[in-house]
Copies of this chain bind each other. A is one copy, B any other.
Amino acid sequence: MVDYDDISRCDCTVIHEDVVNRVKSNMPPDERLYDLAELFKVFGDTTRVKILWALDESEMCVCDLAVLLNMTQSAVSHQLRVLKQARLVKFRKDGKNVYYSFDDDHVKSIFEQGLLHISEG
C-alpha cells in the first residue's frame, strides 16, 4: 500500500500503484543506499581517482603523490584524509614520511566496471 503520509511532497497522482509498491518493498533501506552514494562520491573526483589508481600500483608517500599529480602537498593530504575516512587507503609511518597504500579489494573491480561503461561510448 502506498503510504500517503510519504507522498506529501510529490505533486503527481499515483499512476502505477502496483509497480511503486513492488519496487518499494524490494528497495534496500534508505540508509544503505545513502552509504552507497557516499562511497561513490569519494570516487567522483579526479584527484582521488588518480591517487587510488597510483596507490594500487605502488605504496607512495604524500610528497611522491604531490609530485606525481602536480598538486600541493596540502591538497593531496586533504584528499588522503577523505580516502582514509572511507577506509580505502591505509598508511604506515616511517620517520618523517607517511606511506599510503591501497586498502580494498573491491575498488579496482569497481573501477574496471566503470571503465567498461565509459569505453562503450
Give A residues with C-beta under 8 Å from B: 2, 6-16, 19-20, 22-24, 26-28, 30, 32-46, 48-50, 53-54, 57-58, 60-64, 66-68, 70-73, 87, 97, 104, 106-107, 109-111, 113-118, 121
Contacts and interface: CB of A to CB of B under 8 A. Distances in A.
Given A15-B97, A44-B41, A36 B114 contact: yes
Nearest to A96: B15
Contact of A68 (B23, B41, B48): B23
A36 B32 CA distance: 23
B110 A58 contact: no
B68 A20 contact: yes
A114 B12 contact: no
